[in-house]
A and B are shown apart, each in its own frame.
Chain A
């Protein structure tokens, strides 16, 4: 079972009290964007076999969204950070770089 530390309430939350919310840091496209951009935003996903930046909801806890960095192949969790951050914090990226668990370079 996946376990993440909620960056707000600091509890270690089990997967059963969380709801997954898919790829993080998508830039919302709407009126004024091209059809292609709108399509990319709505449908196209990185869906990597490797490091994934994603959103989770602490639904049976504090009820807030937050970010998780996780490997989709090994299920290793590299860290969590708040939903207000538009980019992953350097601290977590450094951990990811150190712990590349399957030999693939991270961009």
Chain B
């Protein structure tokens, strides 16, 4: 792998940029691997990365039914924050956010992490109280957030309307080190790193079955043939229930569509991320100037990667009172992804009923921010066969034990 640097850029500019190599290698499957990871989204790739980096395990293949990063990792609105209410969540999301801070340097790949700050609006008395509670909880867990006044918010984002008749702004929860990153680059950066140390990334390779011997997986059946393995971990987001069915068990997960849209590019109007949880809308401005807008998820099971149109309308309508200027913007693109929702809106990083199959899913509408931390925790689980501190609370067993990590009430919008 050639290092990217100012020097290599200058060198290539004298070479008509003909010397750049492919960021990662396209591979065909070998007969067998120590570990197979299913799903080349951010979480699968990060798991492979930390398996190599933290545990020296590099005999790994990452299988992807479509193209690398073509799932939710390439479809989200890239909000990164760690101001969660529950201690277990704060631990893994804050670990993740910390890893994001230096990820570009670590991967030698610019993931454009931009800690521009995340502002959560409080638009009802109830929400104001709930956010104050979150702020106190954050302080206990060492997550840096503060409550700010409407006047201060207006100062920070002059274009915001704080005097809306229906949902006036009563305050805000401010996480100064939250922000955004380039979603594709996160997947590409991890892919480039693992490919350089010989991990096989195999695209257009769907897992369509598994072979078991007693209660252990011996090989996976794919559209590119059978591949045997010592351990398998599936990280397939919206398709988790389908993979679980192949492995012979069911999950407490349902797949629904979540959509987002971007406007035409405009001059800079907003330099942080704004989330309006009461009205289910959130917005940031991309470096190209587009307003990136996301909303709530649909309510019914869906695998079509398309959502209901009225949800787009509802999302935009909800934000117009607070941001009147968006009523005059044209929509450039709109798309959907299939997200895997758990009942408590927290993820599952867990052993499964099959001895050597591991599972990472349930990130729902908010797992982009968690990619580095989740990869870190999942790698530990797969390498040791037992979860470490970060993953342990997120086991499948928690539902049976009534040990929910309830983030659904804590943040009406989980992104």
Task: Count residues on chain B whose CB falls below 8 Å from chain A CBs.
Answer: 22
Name the residue in A19, A23, A43 with the highest tally of chain B Cβ atoms < 10 Å from its Cβ: A43
In the complex, are the beta carbons of A48 and B308 less than 8 A apart? no
A39/B400 contact (C-beta < 8 A), A15-B308, A45-B241, A73-B303 known: yes
Measured between beta carbons, the chain A residues less than 8 angstroms from B252 are 43-45
A43 to B251, CA, bound (A): 8
The answer to whether B254 and A45 touch across the interface, beta carbons within 8 angstroms, is yes
- In the bound complex, do residue B299 and residue A20 qualify as a contact, i.e. CB atoms below 8 Å apart? yes
B215 within 8 A of A: no
The residue that A72 contacts in the complex, of B245, B253, B303, B343, with Cβ under 8 A, is B303
| Chain B contacts for A87, CB-based, 8 A | none
- Please report the C-alpha to C-alpha distance between residue A36 and residue B313 in the assembled complex, in whole angstroms: 42
- List residues of chain B with CB within 8 A of the CB of A39: 399-400
In the assembled complex, the Cα of A46 lies from the Cα of B242 at a distance in Å of 9
Interface string of A23-65 (1 = CB under 8 A from B): 1000000000001100110111111110010100000000000
The winner among B239, B252, B300, B302 for most chain A CB atoms within 10 A is B300
B134 interface residue (CB < 8 Å to A)? no
- Which B residues lie within 8 Å of A86 (CB)? none
User: Which chain B residues (393-415) contact chain A, with CB distance < 8 Å?
Assistant: 399-400
- Interface residue from B251, B253, B310, B399 paired with A15 (Cβ < 8 Å): B310
- Tell me whether B255 is interfacial, beta carbon within 8 Å: yes
Q: Is the CB of A46 within 8 A of B310?
A: no
Given contacts A1-B308, A16-B310, A39-B400, contact A45 B302 (CB under 8 A): no
Q: How distant is the Cα of A43 from the Cα of B348 in the complex, in angstroms?
A: 13
Q: Check if B241 sits within 8 Å of A48, measured CB to CB.
A: yes
Judge if A2 is at the interface, Cβ distance under 8 Å: yes
> Which residues of chain B have C-beta atoms less than 8 A from A52's C-beta?
301
Q: Which of B255, B299, B304, B310 contacts A47 (CB 8 A)?
A: B255
Tell me the complex Cα distance, A48–B254, Å: 9
Interface residues, chain B, CB within 8 Å of chain A? 239, 241-242, 245, 250-255, 299-304, 308-310, 343, 399-400
Q: List 24 A-B contacts (CB under 8 A).
A: A1-B308, A19-B299, A20-B299, A22-B300, A23-B301, A42-B399, A43-B400, A44-B251, A45-B241, A45-B251, A46-B241, A46-B250, A47-B241, A47-B253, A47-B254, A48-B242, A48-B245, A49-B241, A49-B242, A49-B303, A72-B255, A72-B301, A72-B302, A73-B304
